[in-house]
Amino acid sequence: SQTIHQWPATLVQPVGSPLSLECTVEGTSNPNLYWYRQAAGRGLQLLFYSVGIGQISSEVPQNLSASRPQDRQFILSSKKLLLSDSGFYLCAWSVFPNTEAFFGQGTRLTVV
Amino acid sequence: GESVGLHLPTLSVQEGDNSIINCAYSNSASDYFIWYKQESGKGPQFIIDIRSNMDKRQGQRVTVLLNKTVKHLSLQIAATQPGDSAVYFCAENMGRGNDMRFGAGTRLTVKP
């Protein structure tokens, strides 16, 4: 069966520090991968998606970047965090674009 | 933009009653819709989906209704249980790329 792992679960980082969140998927090949951000009491905002290794599309301009160094690995990064980067970050995968997505457990990031 | 209001609507129901959660979507070209359930501190989980060539789909204790004329989607939960307490999101396929657009969500609270 397929599983998705996302870590860490919680993270407190100072303003200006770098960020690296990692997501891996097991049990499937060539998944579509997504990073979402969820502000408190709000819906999910799509940040990045990837249809293959090295292929990253960004939905909104921001202080973040994403990379896909391996087929089932998706990384969310920042060189210098801002207070506004705080939120709940979710990684997800799907077999095909715009179909049912399977989400990780999320990372709660607090920038202080 | 967001297909529903910015503030998280809430719905409180008595255990055993039926629940109806509503969602207004924005794009008349959207042809695929998903309902997700998100429990506190976790990632969203797929509940049920529907394509635009249907107006009703039933699952176990859940029914999704689609009214394309008024761009309205609803999720009906029969015999609501305490374990149904969560935030429920609708997501629409915006008809371009990999963009599944999520609504802001509705918080369902089930009273014993």
Smallest CA–CA separation between B44 and chain A, in Å? 6
What is residue B96's predicted lDDT score, i.e. its pLDDT? 63
Q: At B72, list the tokens.
A: 């309205």
Q: What is the CATH number of the domain that holds B98?
A: 2.60.40.10
pLDDT in tens, A61-102: 678 999 999 999 999 999 999 999 999 999 999 998 778 899
Do the Cβ atoms of A64 and A82 come closer than 8 Å?
no
Instruction: Look at residue B102 and tell me whether its pLDDT is greater than 90.
Output: no
Q: Work out the mean pLDDT of chain A and round it to a whole number.
A: 92
Please indicate, yes or no, if residue B5 is contained in any of the structural domains: no
Specify the amino acid at residue A109.
L
What is the CB neighbour count within 10 angstroms for residue B76?
A: 16
- Which domains can be identified in chain A, with CATH numbers? 3-111 (2.60.40.10)
| Structural domain harbouring B89 | 10-111
**Inter-chain contacts counted by CB atoms under 8 A, chains A and B:** 63
Q: Give the pLDDT mean for A42-66.
A: 88
Tell which B residues from 3 to 32 touch A, by Cβ distance under 8 Å: 4, 6-8, 32
Q: In this complex, do B98 and A51 lie within 8 Å of one another by their Cβ atoms?
A: yes
Please tell me the total count of domains within chain B. 1
Strand ranges inside chain B, DSSP E? 10-14, 19-24, 32-38, 45-51, 56-58, 62-67, 72-77, 86-93, 100-102, 106-111
Lowest-confidence pick of A55-59, A65-69, B7-11, B89-93: B7-11
What is residue B94's predicted lDDT score, i.e. its pLDDT? 72
Please indicate, yes or no, if residue B2 is contained in any of the structural domains: no
Using CA atoms, how far apart are residues B77 and B67, in angstroms rounded to an integer? Answer: 18
Nearest residue of B to residue A47, measured between CA atoms: B99
Looking at chain A, the whole-number percentage of residues with pLDDT higher than 70 is 99
